[in-house]
Structure 1
Amino acid sequence: MTGYANGKHHALYRAVLRLSQLMAILGGIVLTGLIVLICISVAGRTMNTILHMTVIENSFPVLAKSLLDWGLGPILGEYEVVETSMPFAIMAFMPLCALTGGHASVDLFTLRMPARVNRAIDLIVAVLFAVCFVLITWRMYEGMAAKMRYNESTTLMQIPIWKAYAAALVAAAVTCVVSTYIVAVRLVESATGRVMLRNEGADY
């Protein structure tokens, strides 16, 4: 379990945790929606192909024509919806992943190192992660601004591309907040020698 070693979940930690969990839930909802969308579209495309088969058209001409006229087939613009929604779905899981230490790590050597050295390594990693995400968020904002200026949109559904940037930008900004909090915690740990935030993977 990730949390304070002394069992006292301070208000700030609880707020950061709840915010991270909320983003992960939203990301899960979007990801689930995309999976359902793809499944329906693939099923529709398959049925459309079957209904165009000669044997089906000859055996069930009225049924085949009725279903095709009804619009049975792939969902229009499914790829565009996935393309514009997936960045948010990915970014939405980053805050909780960072807070719980869910990133891949190799601790073969660090397990043998003194606690003081491990605290220093944790601090360096936290700082680098925070800096990287601040840069990612900044560049994402610049990309969104450019898409807004040129009013770019997808080909089929005319989805404004800047909206996809904006959604991912919100998740990235939350990750910046969480990573900054983690840096502050690691600084306190390095100064006091206390373990305040344990990283035991994403199984929270």
Structure 2
Amino acid sequence: MSASEQLGAQGGTLERVFRFAALLGGIVLFAIMILVSVAVFFRYVLNQPILGNQELVEIGMAVVVMLAIPYTSLKGQHIRVDIFDNMLGDAGRFFCDLVSRSIGVFVLYLLVQKAWDKALDAYEYEDVTNMIEIPVWIAYGAITAGMGLFACVLVLKIISQIRHGVRGYE
């Protein structure tokens, strides 16, 4: 069963939003790869380092990771440790997944709230990086968006999990 089928009718639209975020993160990752390759060439061949290279990579990686997490979770492609799964059985896995997802939603809510406040502060006070003055709110905005979307994925998985019940839980 696909992720959008598990999530019901709204799953297709939401899956496109999550996929778009991941695609955007992939484009940023590709740009970082090109930047680092060019920076290495400039530094070691031309003896001319690129000013602000490190800042661009740091901000870019925040964007990459935060935008990739929701789609990765939606597709179940993240790392999962299942040491106790066989011992717990269907009901135990069902309950543990329900509890861990619920705690995850709560923690993500707190993270989104704090990241949103930090993004607004960074925007209001015009916080920038040291070398090339990249606005810091970009990183906080990516954290806010990524963690907010990730919380949505967990809520949708909780709803789907409850809808399908314990019997035959994977």
With structure 2 as the length reference, what TM-score do the two structures score?
0.86
Inter-partner Cα distance in structure 1 for 2:8 and 2:161: 15
**Distance in structure 2 (CA, Å) of the matches to 1:9 and 1:147:** 36
Provide the aligned length of Structure 1 versus Structure 2.
Answer: 170
1:107-147 residue CA offsets vs partner (Å, 9 max, x unmatched): 23212333122211111121122122111111111211221
- Report the Cα offset of residue 156 of structure 1: 2.2
1:8 and 1:113 map into 2 onto residues whose CA distance is: 23
For structure 2, the residue ranges without an aligned partner over 5 or more in a row are: none
User: 1:82: which partner in 2?
Assistant: 57
Unaligned stretches of 5+ residues in structure 1? 50-72, 199-204
Matched AA of 1:41: A
- Contact 1:130–1:183 (8 Å) recurs in 2: no
- 1:128 maps to 2:103: yes
Given that 1:126 and 1:186 are in contact with CA atoms closer than 8 Å, whether structure 2 keeps it comes out as no
Checking the alignment, whether the CA contact within 8 Å between 2:127 and 2:136 is kept in structure 1 is yes
**RMSD of aligned residue pairs (Cα, Å):** 2.3
Could you say which residue in structure 2 is the equivalent of 1:3?
3
Do 1:119 and 1:189's aligned partners in 2 also have CA atoms closer than 8 Å? no
CA–CA separation in structure 2 for the residues paired with 1:131 and 1:8? 22
- Aligned equivalent of 1:47: 45
Instruction: Report runs of 4+ in structure 1 exceeding 3 Å deviation.
Output: 1-4, 7-10, 192-195
On the 8 A contact 2:74/2:153 being kept in 1, the answer is: yes
Shift in Å at residue 9 of structure 1? Answer: 7.3
Q: Which residue of 2 is the match for residue 14 of structure 1? A: 12
| Greater relative contact order (CA < 8 Å, ≥ 6 in sequence) | 1
Query: Does the 8 Å CA contact 1:95/1:178 hold for their aligned counterparts?
Result: yes
Match of 1:138 in 2: 113
Whichever of the two has the greater Rg, that structure is 1
Contact 2:39 2:49 in 1 (8 A): yes
Identity %: 24
Partner residue of 2:78 out of 84, 103, 107: 103
